Every structure is written in structure tokens, then in C-alpha cells.
Amino acid sequence: MSDDFPGWHGTTIIGVRKGGKVVVAGDGQVSLGQTVIKGAARKVRRLSPGGYDVVCGFAGSTADAFTLLERLEAKLEATPGQLQRASVELAKDWRTDKYLQKLEAMLIVTDGRELYVITGAGDVLEPEHDVAAIGSGGNFALAAARAMMDSDKDAETVARDAMAIAADICVYTNGKLTVETIEG
């Protein structure tokens, strides 16, 4: 990832698994350098290859993320119901393919049972404490969500409250959320 890429710092995505549900929430802000270009983008999507639902959130370049989502969908079609295998296959391709290596994005993916962060470094990470977060405000959202996991709040409330905290701290994150819930 190059340091002069102005669009890299532009979002926060969180995934929270609690009470038999996984919620993925993402803010809507798209920034180019110090300018907000759009305030209500959808960075959380539901894929349904072959009737198998997967929720994905992305941070980074939108075009790069869509390329990765298309590749993930193809991997899921080739390995129905096997999110881990599809994620590992995507990460391997991303790491070794010369074209894909240039993509600047990260993904959070879940089928309601499994929850992963997929990176261009070839990582498929299963988060500890049932919370994953990526993007410029990811560390703020992660810390806030982890602090709420032992509370009576459900997964969606934890995700929304953590995103609100991140939006208050990170200038590249806003409070206009897209939220998708999937049951395990």
C-alpha cells in the first residue's frame, strides 16, 4: 500500500458475533484526502451464491473491494457452504496474483457461524472475543465493542454503539450506517 494513496483512510467496518447472530456494520463516508466525497455509501453487502448467504464489509478502495467481492463470490460458488475454504482460497489468490496484489482493501466476511478478516497479505484472521473491525476507525470501534461484549446489549446494539464511538473520534468515519444481520 502506498503512502500517497489518498482514499485509503476512509471507513470503519465492524463485525460482532453475539447471541447466535453476527452483525456487520459500516459507515457511509467516502473521503478523498481531506474532503468528504459522499456521506451515505454502502460498504456492507450481502452475497447469496447458490442460496448461501454471506455478509461482507469492506474498507479501502471501492473498485478494489468490488473486485475482491466478485472473486469471493466465485470461490463461494465453487465451495458451497464453506466460508473458511473460500476465504483461504481468495487470500491465496490475492497474495500470489500480480494483479490482485495491487488491490488496496480489506474484508470482513461472515456466514453467521464463522467471522473472518481477509487481507492482501494472505491473512484469514478469526477474531478473538467475537469482534472484528477494519478501516481507519477500526481500532476505536474494536475497543468500544469489546468493552460492551459482557453487557446485556445484543449484537446489533453493540455494533451500532461502537460505530457511534468511532464516528465521534475518527474524522474519516460518519454515523450513517449500513447494518446487515445474519444468524448462525
The Cα–Cα gap between 6 and 154 comes to 36
- Picking from 88, 24, 16, the residue whose alpha carbon sits closest to that of residue 56 is 24
**According to the per-residue pLDDT averaged within each range, which of 48-52, 98-102, 157-161 is highest?**
157-161
Q: Residue 155: enclosing H or E segment and its boundaries?
A: helix 155-169
DSSP 3-state of 122? coil
Annotated binding-site residues read: 167, 170, 173
Determine the distance from the C-alpha atom of residue 123 to the mean position of all C-alpha atoms in its chain, rounded to a whole number: 14
11 is catalytic: yes
Whether the pLDDT of residue 1 is over 60: the answer is: no
- Domain architecture of the chain: domains with CATH: 12-171 (3.60.20.10)
pLDDT at 102 over 90: no
Cell of 61: 478502495
Annotated binding site for Na(+): 167, 170, 173
> According to the model, what pLDDT value does residue 97 have?
79
Mean pLDDT of 123-129: 95
pLDDT single digits (tens) 30-61: 888 888 889 999 999 999 988 889 999 999 88
Mean pLDDT value of segment 116-129: 92
Q: What confidence score (pLDDT) does residue 62 get?
A: 81
C-alpha 116/C-alpha 6 separation (Å) is 26
- The predicted pLDDT at position 4 comes to 45
